Structure 1
Amino acid sequence: MTNLRSINFYATPGHHCSYLPNREAKTLFVDPQAIIAKDTYSQLSELGFRRSGRHIYRPHCGECQACISVRIPCTQFRPTRSQKRILARNRDLKVRVVSPQLNREYYQLYERYIIDRHADGDMYPPSEEQFMSFLVEGDQESVFFEFRDRQNKLIALAVSDFLEEGLSAIYTFFEPAEYKRSLGSYAILWQISECERLKLPYLYLGYWVKDCRKMNYKLAYRPIEMLLDNSWVLIR
């Protein structure tokens, strides 16, 4: 395992916060030239770092501690009644694991999703270059989970990284017209089950921000662990 003290880290200047209005954010990046092996990436994830394309980063905002890393201890998770209904609604779906790539089918689904769900966000307008740099490029052990219906139509795709102690859910996008399926929630529930099947203890869900409405869904999965004062705390 690489000694983290041997890795260079770089902090960005202040920039617009993606999560909270009228806030300035700073980000701490791992040296993009460093070779980060799986064990080191796993260690960084334990410390609250995330990956976006080739970049491994963590919020570094001084006094603001709003971004809290969260993960699900998969063997302890128990679905709620609502989550059981979501599982039942999607029993017909088949999941296939493929290597990260850009193709027309993936991009068209991604484009529809961004335009429908995130037209007011930093990811709009979508582009193939954005898809590649965000979801395909990178040096970690990453996979695409395809979710297909009985007609073999792709209706969701989840991007995840393999860590030594779990999966890190990087991003999920899905068919907006299939909103009754709650595909975003189903993708998380499926990945929890996949972690259990692979005997991986955790599913990392990135950051939860209390005052960001779009982040509220993460607390629906209980129990959940939060990284508070550099220690993982179980929240039931």
Structure 2
Amino acid sequence: MRIVLFGYGTMGKMIDRIATARNHKIVSRIDTPGDIPPFGELDVAIDFSTPDSALGNISACLENGVPVVSGTTGWLDGFPKAELLCRQQNGAFLYASNFSLGVNLFFELNAHLARMMSGFPDYAPTMTEIHHTRKLDAPSGTAITLAEGIIENSTYTAWDSERSSSETIPITSERIGDTPGTHRIAYDSEVDRIEIQHTAHNREGFALGAVLAAEWLIGKKGVFGMRDVLNLR
């Protein structure tokens, strides 16, 4: 594949290394707003940029017929626009808040547990997410996806940084050192606690998943997620 990378921070550099090792070519590395990649020379784009630039990057790719994979978080108020544009352009767009195989299996476990716990109102869910101090958004996109998984499978209606009502899932965000990512979901009652947790040991899994998603997206049309890539639907 001929790839453009939007964003060349820690994740961008790791994706570069993994994609190159898998015999793909990085045609362009965009890390400055206003830089325009050679769209005619590309097979796919991978976006790990910033919340302010993600929608513009995705839109430019779709308007130029380039499939795009995005893992940037903190911009999802613009997701409906990207989805609509993808369908209008008959393009290909894949978004995931987390590309790790383990995290996507954790998403499924979280939804299953939420369905089980919905019949036991004495247990109240809480969430904690821990990341490195350079992470710009809080809570993390992964935490929001987990919260949405609980909401879809229970009577809870929203998430927040605190329990503002009995229908709200509180999310605590911590930023510590160089932590790659930890997500913990707990159901507490007066007598005990049920807890599940995913802990990333490094960022390799995130980067490899993004490259695998880009490989999978080639030749497809529509809006997709990692559940499609991993055939979990």
Q: TM-score, normalised by structure 1?
A: 0.26
Structure with the larger helix share:
2
Structure with the larger strand share:
1
**Using CA pairs below 8 Å that are at least 6 residues apart, which structure has the higher relative contact order?**
1
Larger C-alpha radius of gyration, 1 or 2? 2
Q: TM-score, normalised by structure 2?
A: 0.26
